[in-house]
Amino acid sequence: MSIEWTPESWQSRLAQQQPVYDDQQQVSEILRTLGQLPPLVTAWEVDRLRQQLADAATGNAFVLQGGDCSESFADCNAVSILRKLKVLIQMSLVLICRSHQKVIRIGRIAGQYAKPRSASVESRDGVELPSYRGDIVNRSGFTEADRRPNPDLLLRAYERSALTINFIRALSEGGFADLHHPENWDLEFVRNTPGSRRYQELLESLSDAIRFMEVVSGTELEQLTRVDFFTSHEGLHLLFEQAVTRTDQRNRGSYNLSTHLPWIGDRTRAIDGAHVEYFRGIRNPIGVKIGNSMAADELVDLIRILNPENEPGRLTLIHRFGAERIASHLPQLAESVRRARLNVLWSCDPMHGNIQTTRNGIKTRAFDDITLEIISAFRIHNEAGTRLSGIHLELTGEDVTECLGGPANLTELDLQRDYRSQVDPRLNYEQAMEIAFLIAEQMK
């Protein structure tokens, strides 16, 4: 039933989770404008990431993908972006120093504005309004005006993505990212804890090693002054993704140039659905989230559609089962993919299968469930003869209280203190760093 792929061929398929706009004329005009704006990334960068992911899948690097569940327009500011970058760089340093492997840093950033929702409407006190679908679609306030899908927000989201990636690029290019000055990545609120002391010790031995190598080689190590940083978001809003799809000037096909790595969410990965149709034709490396409803033969079929040439680095499978269910789901999937000799990169999202609601109705995740799922993922891949080559986390560089447990042992009471996420709960700085040390341990 294959049709010829074009950037709009998905429109003949069923598209889940799309907003319903009331002014089609306005939508068309905005999409046209969007299509004429400069891209946010280039096809060369996208190709470079695909190459690096191919390397990671064979055991030569590890992927650290993380950021907010959903970015918000309000958080598009220097402090918030800096903190996210700091925590990801600090985590990557822990992984590199402790596991002696290269790390590919990918933010859920500069475009992570569209959210799938379990219900299309939300009711409060007898009032029913459309669900909040992310700042690219509508606003989170509970009024009719806030919740009306507004096509203008497509442009506002693209502009904020551009502002964000511009700042990230400037920071990655030197000065801030210089490994000779790790104090640039310090966060002002960090307490003196065993975790923070462990990180400081790691920095000291790293500085010693750098000084030693520079003395021996007689030069300053130039490549230590910058870091590579890639962007990713869930490619959910298909009219938007189509508008930012461009034909490569070298005739290598169509690229989504709003991000390096778009992924398909667990709710929109139907084999005959619109998202799979759109994603199969773009040249970017892509991700697909897989949850408990995925069957082994279905996964093999899906991989063959999304990566027909079996190209290394093209496809990242991000599994998210939950600490309790991973052991009954992952082994068969890993085994089937391995037996079919399909080239994929396996990554673990220990967040989305571990959501729970407290007695007070707060959506949270327990740190212990998250760590348990990570440990199980390493073990199961090891037993299956496959390799876990990446981690996918929802985290923030802020001192929030959204997930239970961790180094400060946050309780349900603590969640009320500083819970800021509009959608899923994120690891705070301390919890994220603890996870980095845990992963590094597992990688060894």
Residues that bind ligand PEP (CB under 6 A): 69, 116, 234, 265-267, 289, 320, 352, 424
Compute the C-alpha angle 30/280/134, nearest 5°: 40
Q: Which is nearer to ligand PEP, 69 or 104 (CB)?
A: 69
Q: Which backbone phi and psi does 27 adopt, to 5 degrees?
A: -60, -45
* Residue 37 neighbours by CB under 8 Å, 6+ apart: 158
| Minimum distance from residue 265 beta carbon to ligand PEP (Å) | 3
Residues 191 and 406 sit within 8 Å (Cβ to Cβ): no
Partner residues linked to 123 by β-bridges: 128
| Minimum distance from residue 390 beta carbon to ligand PEP (Å) | 14
Q: Which is nearer to Co ion, 69 or 388 (CB)?
A: 69
Amino acid occupying residue 335: E
| Minimum distance from residue 267 beta carbon to Co ion (Å) | 11
Q: Which is nearer to ligand PEP, 160 or 275 (CB)?
A: 275
| Minimum distance from residue 70 beta carbon to Co ion (Å) | 7
Q: Which is nearer to ligand PEP, 43 or 106 (CB)?
A: 106
Q: How far is CA 321 from CA 93, 200, 275, 326, 327, in A?
A: 28, 34, 21, 5, 9
Residues that bind Co ion (CB under 5 A): 69, 424
Q: Which is nearer to Co ion, 241 or 424 (CB)?
A: 424
Binding partner selected for residue 66 from Co ion, ligand PEP, none, CB under the kind-specific 5 to 8 Å limit: none
Binding partner selected for residue 116 from ligand PEP, Co ion, none, CB under the kind-specific 5 to 8 Å limit: ligand PEP
Binding partner selected for residue 289 from Co ion, ligand PEP, none, CB under the kind-specific 5 to 8 Å limit: ligand PEP
Residues in the chain: 444
Give me 36's structure tokens: 């004429």
Q: Which is nearer to ligand PEP, 17 or 90 (CB)?
A: 17
What's the chain's Rg over C-alpha atoms? 21
- Per the listing, tokens 């569209």 go with 114
Burial of 59 (0-12, 13-18, 19+ CB in 10 A): exposed
Angle, to 10 degrees, between the axis of helix 78-99 and the axis of helix 429-443? 20
Name the closest residue to ligand PEP (Cβ).
Answer: 265
**Distance of alpha carbon 298 from alpha carbon 272, whole angstroms:** 11
| Minimum distance from residue 169 beta carbon to Co ion (Å) | 26
- Per the listing, tokens 């933010």 go with 107
Which of 388, 347, 394, 346 has its CA nearest to residue 367? 394
Q: Which backbone phi and psi does 82 adopt, to 5 degrees?
A: -60, -45
Give me 48's structure tokens: 């470079």
Amino acid occupying residue 103: V
Binding partner selected for residue 241 from ligand PEP, Co ion, none, CB under the kind-specific 5 to 8 Å limit: none
Q: Which is nearer to ligand PEP, 53 or 69 (CB)?
A: 69
Q: Which is nearer to Co ion, 112 or 256 (CB)?
A: 112
| Minimum distance from residue 326 beta carbon to ligand PEP (Å) | 14
| Minimum distance from residue 289 beta carbon to ligand PEP (Å) | 4
| Minimum distance from residue 250 beta carbon to ligand PEP (Å) | 32
